[in-house]
Structure 1
């Protein structure tokens, strides 16, 4: 009976390697979105070359300007989404499979891979999602036609909500760092 229990627990523990599928798929998605955003930048630069054309009317120049700003925001959104997928795949790998040995010798890993549990991963991803939402709202705000004072009020409310979300995100991060430092002091006997 003990042998069966050991075999079952070994199989159960090794089942965590299924996460490698999600890691590979997330990394592929990150590469795909990064590629698409980069192609968008190439086309954007080609499109903007016409901006300096002296024969261009003021309306056409304004249209190119507005479209360019919108496309830049969309590109930033794409790069943020690619970053989200990259952090997600690295975090899953570190949590479920193994530490990334190559990363632990790098200074950049302390900025990216401070993921010790699922809560750390969720916090990192939530920050990236919040940034994506902010960029998306900015892109939509550029396209809004202000036809009434109510439209301006809605835009102001959206910006205020973003400020509140950023405030609470920062406050939660500061509180988390404070409790981590208190835990370290309590653990070291101070």
Structure 2
């Protein structure tokens, strides 16, 4: 009976390697998104070269300006999405397979990629997803046509909610210091 238990527990423990499917898939998705956004950037740069052309009318220049700003916001959104997939791949690998030695021992590497718990992974992903949502809201605000005063009120409400979300996500990272524990700064 002990042999069966040992074999079962070994198989159960090794089943965690199925996570490699998600790790590799997320990494490939991240690379695909980075490639697509890089192509978008090169096309965007080609369009921008015509911005200074004397052949453009003021109206055409304004249209090119507005579409360029909109495309830049889309590029930022794409890079953030690629970053989410990369953090997700690295986090799953660290949680289920093994610590990434290069991340732990490298003093110049960012600690955002070092994941110690599922809560670490969720927190890091949530912050990047919040940034994607902010960029998407910004993109929608650029294209929004204000037709009535209520539209302006809705936009203001959306901005206030984004500000509250940013404040709450930042407040969660830095717990309040007790009044007597300000480490002697005299305040």
Superposition TM-score, scaled by structure 2 size: 0.91
Task: Quote the Cα distance in structure 2 between the aligned partners of 1:101 and 1:28.
Answer: 21
Deviation at 1:146, TM superposition (A): 1.2
Q: Residues 1-190 of structure 1 correspond to what in structure 2 (within 5 A)? A: 1-175=1-175
- Matched residue pairs, number? 177
**5+ long unaligned stretches in structure 1:** 179-190
Counterpart of 1:50 in 2: which secondary structure? coil
Deviation at 1:19, TM superposition (A): 0.5
Task: Quote the Cα distance in structure 1 between the aligned partners of 2:107 and 2:99.
Answer: 15
After TM superposition, which residue ranges in structure 1, 4 or more long, deviate above 3 angstroms? none
Contact kept, 8 Å, 2:104 with 2:114, in 1: the verdict is no
Deviation at 1:108, TM superposition (A): 4.1
Counterpart of 1:51 in 2: which secondary structure? coil
Task: Quote the Cα distance in structure 1 between the aligned partners of 2:65 and 2:57.
Answer: 12
Task: Quote the Cα distance in structure 2 between the aligned partners of 1:110 and 1:55.
Answer: 47
Aligned to 1:183: none
Deviation at 1:99, TM superposition (A): 0.9
Shift of the 108–29 alpha-carbon distance from structure 1 to 2, 3 Å rule, reads farther
Deviation at 1:110, TM superposition (A): 4.5
Task: Quote the Cα distance in structure 2 between the aligned partners of 1:67 and 1:17.
Answer: 45
Task: Quote the Cα distance in structure 2 between the aligned partners of 1:108 and 1:20.
Answer: 27
Residue-by-residue CA offset, 1:88-123 (whole Å, 9 max, x unaligned) = 000100000001122222224442233111011000
Superposition TM-score, scaled by structure 1 size: 0.90
Cα RMSD after superposing both structures: 1.3
